[in-house]
């Protein structure tokens, strides 16, 4: 029972972190700096959506492995979540 409750908490925190990080990418593509160069991610461009997709992939793959029951992936998820949450709030 406790393990299932902890698993739900980890899934929730992972999804919140993924949404926050993707919203950071989208919001930064709306800034005036997005027009500063040819390699900048402009809003609704292929590069922006590719960045969002890669971030979601990097969040979802460890989460799926964790849901399947491989407990060692907790350390990978802790690292990914720490970097994601710190970059969202710093």
Interatomic CA distance for residues 16 and 37, integer angstroms: 31
Q: What is the pLDDT of residues 36-54, one digit of tens each?
A: 777 677 888 888 899 999 9
Question: What pLDDT sits at residue 49?
Answer: 92
Instruction: Give the whole-number percent of the chain exceeding pLDDT 70.
Output: 97
Backbone angles phi, psi at 30, to 5 degrees: -85, -10
Cβ contact 29:41 at 8 Å: yes
Full-prediction pTM beyond 0.75? yes
């Amino acid at each position: 029972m406790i393990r299932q409750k902890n698993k739900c908490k980890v899934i929730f925190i992972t999804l919140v972190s993924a949404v926050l990080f993707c919203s950071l990418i989208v919001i930064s593509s709306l800034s005036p700096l997005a027009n500063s160069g040819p390699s900048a991610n402009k809003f609704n461009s292929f590069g922006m959506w590719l960045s969002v997709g890669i971030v979601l992939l990097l969040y979802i793959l460890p989460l799926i492995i964790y849901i399947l029951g491989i407990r060692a992936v907790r350390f990978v998820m802790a690292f990914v979540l720490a970097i994601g949450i710190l970059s969202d709030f710093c």
